[in-house]
Structure 1
Amino acid sequence: MSSSNQPLVAVVTGASRGAGKGIALALGAAGATVYVTGRSQQEGDAALPGTIWSTADEIDKAGGKGIAVPCDHSDDRHVQTLFERVSREHGRLDILVNNATFLHDELTVRGGFWQKPLDMVDILNVGLRSGYVASWFAAPLMIKQRRGLIAFTSSFGSSCYMHGPAYGAQKAGVDKFAKDMAVDLRAHNVAAVSIWMGMLKTERSMRSLARAPDQYAEFAAMAETPEFTGKVIHALYRDPNLMSKSGQVLIGAEVAQEYGIQDADGKQPPSHREMLGSPAQAHPAIVD
């Protein structure tokens, strides 16, 4: 376990923008050294603003240390190189946040899955498979120190219909990763959890808000900042009873209430459990 005078070392995948950027900034504000991964190295590389370099710079300004690492999470060799660098430079890893994913521009367009582009399914490669690969490389580092947290960013789309079957399958998949990885890691005192985030104020959602402010007014009122989930992940890691939560699918807003965490401006984001459903937890049976 990292000592109190030793900064946490974290990897946040897909942190050029959106949830990943916010999580990375929150960990940086808590003093962590954060490896920021993604493909966007220059503005214009993606349709939305943000780069790994700008996120790393903001982490530095927040009081942490940001390390930008160009990484295509569809290429296992890139991921291997990332974790070899973490091992070489720090010899350990405290937190891995599996957030990298593929969000198609037509994700929120209404219509049947067969009416949408076939490459919508790429979310099962970058988003599902990539989370497994990153965890595979991260686990030995955490096992060696007998302490660590692997967190998957997920959503209520794991349970209810949200944006179609490809999106839902990816979220359900990372939830199952957390449940099953926790079984394998328990003897090594390493935790795995999946966190359902609420509606987020990201570059993508704020673009939609600007286009139709009346339509998204209610959304804006209840949305979480991306940093909110980062605060939750940091609190989870620091919880001496972290292992009691390992293997669970957690609603971030509810964990925040448990730990007394608030979002920006003292806001307490709602759970959405009654409206969108409850996480399905793992059955205790283990079949080797």
Structure 2
Amino acid sequence: MHFSKLIAISLDDEKKFNTFSSNISSYTPLDRKLRWFYDYSLAVLKAKRKSVVEAEDLFGKYAESGRFNDNNHLKMLQKLVEEGETPEFTGKAIVALATDRNLLKKTGRIWTTADLGIDYGFRDVNGRQPDSIRGLKYVLGQVGLSHIGALFPLWFRIPGWLMTAVMSRL
């Protein structure tokens, strides 16, 4: 998973200067214990808001960065690595967002890199299309029902508001 980074890309579109600012993090927005980190990152983005046209938060699954090298971690994280995505996939997600003419319609929402890959139609450099954490295929696989999950296409996803409601303190 990624730690938070701020990325700004300048776009010169029809003699207008815009700034696209993106916050890359892990699943912290959905985890109560780590919410402070997400809130801090979002506060930094909002502080930049006076010069920012668009601010997005996006997070990916485990990135194949080679940080877990001891045998115990490798055994425990083998499935995460197999289902993970490369850092280049996150880069493709940022490029897709930055070049989207309807970017303002995505304002104020959290986007997973897997969801963006499905929506914009790009794949990872290794040819894989990572499953979305909102995808029914992925969710059923996590509870041992992958044989049923295999019946659902990648685009069949649980609504974000429902995921937030289930994982919040409500």
Normalised to the residue count of structure 2, the TM-score between the two structures is 0.63
Gaps of 5+ in 2: 143-157, 165-170
**Match runs of 1:38-187 below 5 Å:** 99=5, 145-160=16-31, 165=33, 167-175=34-42, 178=45, 180=46, 184=49
* Preserved CA contact (<8 Å) 2:123 2:129: yes
Query: Quick one: which of 250, 255, 259 aligns to 2:111?
Result: 250
In percent, how many aligned pairs have the same letter? Answer: 23
Q: CA deviation at 1:250?
A: 1.1
| Alpha-carbon distance in structure 2 between the residues aligned to 1:273 and 1:181 | 30
Aligned match of 1:266 = 127
Q: 1:169 to 1:189 in 2, by over 3 A?
A: closer
Q: 1:272 to 1:242 in 2, by over 3 A?
A: same
Aligned match of 2:57 = 194
Normalised to the residue count of structure 1, the TM-score between the two structures is 0.40
* Preserved CA contact (<8 Å) 1:189 1:243: no
- Residue identity matched to 1:173: Y
1:124-143 Cα shifts (integer Å, max 9, x gaps): xxxxxxx5xx98xx99xxxx
* Preserved CA contact (<8 Å) 1:174 1:194: no
Q: CA deviation at 1:148?
A: 1.7
RMSD over aligned CA atoms reads: 3.6
Gaps of 5+ in 1: 1-17, 21-97, 100-130, 281-288
- Residue identity matched to 1:174: S
1:192-243 Cα shifts (integer Å, max 9, x gaps): 10002111111323x25x5443322211211111111111001111111112
Larger radius of gyration: 1
Q: 1:232 to 1:219 in 2, by over 3 A?
A: same
* Preserved CA contact (<8 Å) 1:228 1:263: yes
Q: 1:204 to 1:168 in 2, by over 3 A?
A: farther
Are 1:204 and 2:71 counterparts? no
